[in-house]
Chain A
Amino acid sequence: IVLTQSPGTLSLSPGERATLSCRASQNTRYNYVAWYQQKPGQAPRLLIYGASNRATGIPDRFSGSGSGTDFTLTITRLEPEDFAMYYCQQYDKSPPWTFGQGTKVEFK
């Protein structure tokens, strides 16, 4: 399954809402999509799994939604520490496990 993320870059200010999209080339069963956050020089961190379940310790300003081929990560009010790269990943038809190319959330 090929995942396509949009936009490539999102330029926003702290306090604004971020909406990131991930589209799959095939239908995903059971909404087996996860989202990861990666900051420069750091490993990725799991945010969301099963399209909408927050991982342990993830603030509730992060939420995931979607089904089938279209998935969304929403950050309701951007905090300074949220400016980072975000990747979606599918674990439905695997191997191989595949990632989207990423969306960068940057300061406007």
Chain B
Amino acid sequence: QVQLVESGGGVVQPGGSLRLSCAASGAASRLTFTSSAFHWVRQAPGMGLEWVAFIRSDGSNKYYADSVKGRFAISKDNSNNRLSLEMYSLRSEDTAMYYCAKDRNFGIFDSWGQGTLVTVSP
């Protein structure tokens, strides 16, 4: 089982930028990370889950929710077991807990990090 730990959240002004990271660790984590696709999922305060972005294991395909397309960029560094989410032109509606999640297969989220909180506020 791979452990995922997010970092990089914080308070940012509207229009600002932030970079989130997700580090993978645990037994066989390098092989698991390299061979796995990953997602970012967010949850606004008191609200439900919203899928944000996806990246294939080798980084060859990336998909984004319409709400973040053109403003967010997902990337994967297999040599360092690290997933990232670059967020630009942040809006108040981007305020949420952001989770990275490993894709077991076809879009089943079988491992989740503990989340990192992003607050967009003047």
Write out, one digit per residue, whether chain B residues 81-106 have a CB within 8 A of any chain A CB (1) or not (0). Answer: 00000000000000000010000101
Tell me the residues in window 25-69 of chain B with beta carbons closer than 8 Å to chain A beta carbons. 39, 41, 48-51, 54, 63-66
CA distance A34 to B106 in the complex (A): 11
Contact present for B48 and A32 (CB under 8 Å): no
Write out, one digit per residue, whether chain A residues 69-108 have a CB within 8 A of any chain B CB (1) or not (0). Answer: 0000000000000000001010100111111111000000
Q: Main SS of chain A's interface residues?
A: loop
Is A46's beta carbon under 8 Å from chain B? yes
CA distance A98 to B107 in the complex (A): 10
Task: For residue A3, give the distance in angstroms from its CB to the closest CB of chain B.
Answer: 10
CB neighbours (8 Å) of A34 from chain B are 108-109
CA distance A91 to B65 in the complex (A): 14
User: Which residue from B54, B63, B99, B109 sits with its C-beta under 8 Å from A89?
Assistant: B109
Taking residues whose C-beta sits less than 8 angstroms from the other chain, chain A's interface range is 20 to 34
Taking residues whose C-beta sits less than 8 angstroms from the other chain, chain B's interface range is 20 to 34
CB neighbours (8 Å) of A100 from chain B are 48
| Further contacts, 16 of them, CB under 8 A, given A98-B51, A99-B48 | A34-B108, A34-B109, A43-B113, A43-B115, A44-B41, A44-B99, A44-B109, A46-B108, A89-B49, A94-B107, A95-B63, A95-B65, A96-B63, A99-B50, A99-B51, A102-B49
State the 5 A-B residue pairs at the shortest beta-carbon distance, nearest first.
A91-B107, A43-B112, A95-B63, A97-B51, A99-B49
A interface residues, Cβ below 8 angstroms from B: 32, 34, 36, 38, 42-46, 49, 55, 87, 89, 91, 94-102
B interface residues, Cβ below 8 angstroms from A: 39, 41, 48-51, 54, 63-66, 99, 104, 106-110, 112-115
